[in-house]
Structure 1
Amino acid sequence: MSVDAILRTEFPAGYTVFFGADGKVIMTPQGFEHSHTIKSLQMDSLALGRHAKTTSDVCLDFPADENSAPDFAILREDAQKQGKRYSFEDVLLIAEVVSVSSARRDYDDCTAKYGRYSIPVYVIVDPYAGEVVVHTEPTGTGYITARTHKYGTGKLPIELADGRTYPLDLDELPMPEPEGR
């Protein structure tokens, strides 16, 4: 399936769609905690300014058709669309929220991919472990530095490559609710 065909496809509401480099399209239902966590990340980005360039579940161009639609991304203020989308070169921070079906991809595949493309900061938000892992210093195979921070430990200032600070509020990240009857 071509990138243009994918962009014109309407996927069912309530699903997150992942595109693998091998051409696979993976659809997974988005849970309440996942959606609520992305909302928290967005709310914290207001500290960067009301019109800061951020995206959620929006396709970004990467080389070799490895395009991604990360759960949350912060772009450079001077980022310009190239065609219909922004490029990975415009990204300052990417955050992925772990779900039961995405843990391996978020912890392993995305860490390698985002490091390979020199995304300055990659954040894994894991509601099930109640922690956030902040990766910095990208390399060709991942990241040199990974620091883990527990939920409920206050505001975590994350330095962006353009000198701004993204204040991730670890007290406001939602924990998964117990399953009902």
Structure 2
Amino acid sequence: MRDFVQSMDDTLPGKFEITREGIVHDLTVPTKQHELTVLRLRKRLEKVMPEELVAHTGEPDVMVIAEADMEGDGAFDPRTLVAAVEIVSRSNPENDWAGKIRDYPLLGIPVYAIFDPRTGSGAVFTDIHPTPAGPRYATRKDFVYGEEVTIAEWTIPTDGLPRYADDGTAY
């Protein structure tokens, strides 16, 4: 599946993700609000993280990873991620709020933060523990835009993050 996703990334519009159910093809183009949120979060994280770590944008929207773990050939090993940050898309919110909450602990990603421009809120999930259904996050800390949020070891402000308006514009 990973080979197929990589071969299609530059061929077809949209983005591909591998989930427990299989390959998901999202045809929607990210909105300005989504991309501006990614940019602001990346910059805020990089201001407070040690230099050997980066807040790299891609899949997930922002991944905190050691620059050294980005070297070499092939795909990123998800177990090397310090944290994953997702910005909820207007078209497929359950992908971030359900699918990735289930999938990321299976991949060994220790911290998962969700920012939801629809509601101006989010949550940070930590403390992977075993359950009969497989590994799950044990701790959830909710926040609203305007509060500070801690992702892994770093606290950043959430003020000034764009929101989706009901008519599709930012506010």
- 1:3-46, CA deviations, whole angstroms, 9 ceiling, x for partnerless residues? 33532441567x44434452443322211111111111111122
TM-score by length of 2: 0.80
- For 1:101, the aligned partner's letter is S
Q: Displacement, 1:142?
A: 2.2
TM-score by length of 1: 0.76
Distance 2:19 2:2 in 1: 12
- For 1:170, the aligned partner's letter is T
- For 1:52, the aligned partner's letter is L
For the residue of structure 2 that corresponds to 1:28, the secondary structure is: coil
- For 2:116, the aligned partner's letter is D
Other-structure match for 1:87: 77
For the residue of structure 2 that corresponds to 1:110, the secondary structure is: helix
Distance 1:25 1:128 in 2: 22
Distance 1:177 1:78 in 2: 40
The answer to whether the Cα contact below 8 Å between 1:44 and 1:166 also exists between their aligned partners in 2 is no
- 1:43-72, CA deviations, whole angstroms, 9 ceiling, x for partnerless residues? 112222566323212xxxxxxxxxxx2111
Other-structure match for 2:6: 7
Distance 2:99 2:3 in 1: 24
1:42 paired to 2:42: yes
Distance 1:80 1:168 in 2: 24
Q: CA RMSD in A?
A: 2.5
For the residue of structure 1 that corresponds to 2:36, the secondary structure is: helix
Taking a change above 3 Å as real, the CA distance of residues 131 and 24 of structure 1, as seen in their structure-2 partners, is: closer
Other-structure match for 1:63: none
For the residue of structure 2 that corresponds to 1:40, the secondary structure is: helix
Distance 1:84 1:180 in 2: 37
The answer to whether the Cα contact below 8 Å between 1:19 and 1:26 also exists between their aligned partners in 2 is no
- 1:71-92, CA deviations, whole angstroms, 9 ceiling, x for partnerless residues? 1110135425452332011101
- For 2:76, the aligned partner's letter is Y
Gaps of 5+ in 2: none
- For 1:54, the aligned partner's letter is A
Distance 1:166 1:132 in 2: 16
Distance 1:157 1:6 in 2: 32
Q: How many residues align?
A: 162
- For 2:118, the aligned partner's letter is Y
Gaps of 5+ in 1: 58-68
Other-structure match for 1:53: 54
1:133 paired to 2:123: yes
Other-structure match for 2:156: 168
Which shows bigger deviation, 134-143 or 170-179?
170-179
For the residue of structure 2 that corresponds to 1:96, the secondary structure is: strand
